[in-house]
Amino acid sequence: MQPGEATGTPPRTTWSAHTFSSLRHPAYRAYFAGQFFSLIGTWMQMAAQSWLVYDLTGSKAMLGLVSLVGSIPTLLLSTWGGILADRYPRRTILLVCQVLLALQAIALALLVLTEGIHIAHLMILAAVLGTVSGIEMPARQAFVVEMVGRKDLMNAIALNSSVFHASRILGPAVAGLLIGSIGAGWCFLVNGLSYGAIFAALLTMRLDASPPRHVEGSALHLAAEGFRVVLRTPGIVAMLGLLLFVGVFGWSYVILMPAIARDDLGVGPEGYGLLMSAVGLGSVAGALSVASLREVRDGRALVVGLVLVFVASVTALSFTTNYALALLVLLPAGFSLTAFFSLTNTLIQASTSDEFRGRVMGVYTLVFAAMMPLGSLQAGALASALGTPTTIRLGAVACTLSAMAALKWMPRNLQR
Of the given ranges (34-38, 54-58, 125-129), which has the lowest mean pLDDT? 54-58
Task: Express each pLDDT in 300-327 by its tens digit.
Answer: 788 889 999 999 999 999 999 999 999 9
- The predicted pLDDT at position 390 comes to 92
- The predicted pLDDT at position 352 comes to 75
CA dist., res. 285 & res. 163, Å (int): 11
The mean per-residue pLDDT over the stretch 97-112 comes to 94
Q: Is residue 289 classed as helix, strand or coil in its secondary structure?
A: helix
Half-sphere exposure (CA, 13 Å, Cβ side) for 104? 25
2 pLDDT more than 50: no
CA dist., res. 122 & res. 108, Å (int): 8
DSSP 318-363: HH---HHHHHHHHHHHHHHHHHHHHHHHHHHHHTS-GGGHHHHHHH
Of the given ranges (136-140, 141-145, 157-161, 214-218), which has the lowest mean pLDDT? 214-218
Task: Express each pLDDT in 384-414 by its tens digit.
Answer: 889 889 999 999 999 999 888 877 777 666 5
pTM score > 0.75 for this model? no
- The predicted pLDDT at position 162 comes to 79
Query: 382: Cβ–Cβ under 8 A, 6 or more apart, which residues?
Result: 390, 391, 394
> Letter for the amino acid at 279?
V
CA dist., res. 239 & res. 235, Å (int): 6
Query: With b meaning 16 or more CB within 10 Å and e meaning fewer, what string describes 299-315?
Result: bbebbbebbebbbebbb
Task: Express each pLDDT in 5-19 by its tens digit.
Answer: 444 444 455 555 667
The Cα-based distances of 335 to 112, 237, 293 in angstroms read 34, 24, 15
Q: Are 327 and 194 in contact (CB under 8 A)?
A: no
Burial class (CB in 10 A: 0-12, 13-18, 19+), 114: exposed
The mean per-residue pLDDT over the stretch 64-72 comes to 81
Domain positions in the chain are 22-206+219-409
What share of residues in the chain are helix, strand, coil (percent, to 5)? 80, 0, 20
- The band of 297, judged by pLDDT with boundaries at 50, 70 and 90, is low
- The predicted pLDDT at position 142 comes to 83
- The CATH superfamily label for domain 22-206+219-409 reads MFS general substrate transporter like domains (1.20.1250.20)
Dihedral angle over CA of 39, 45, 47, 49, nearest 10: -150
| Number of residues written out for the chain | 416
- The predicted pLDDT at position 295 comes to 67
- The predicted pLDDT at position 103 comes to 96
Radius of gyration from C-alpha coordinates of the chain: 21
Within 10 Å of residue 239's Cβ, how many Cβ atoms?
28
Eight-class DSSP state of 265 = S
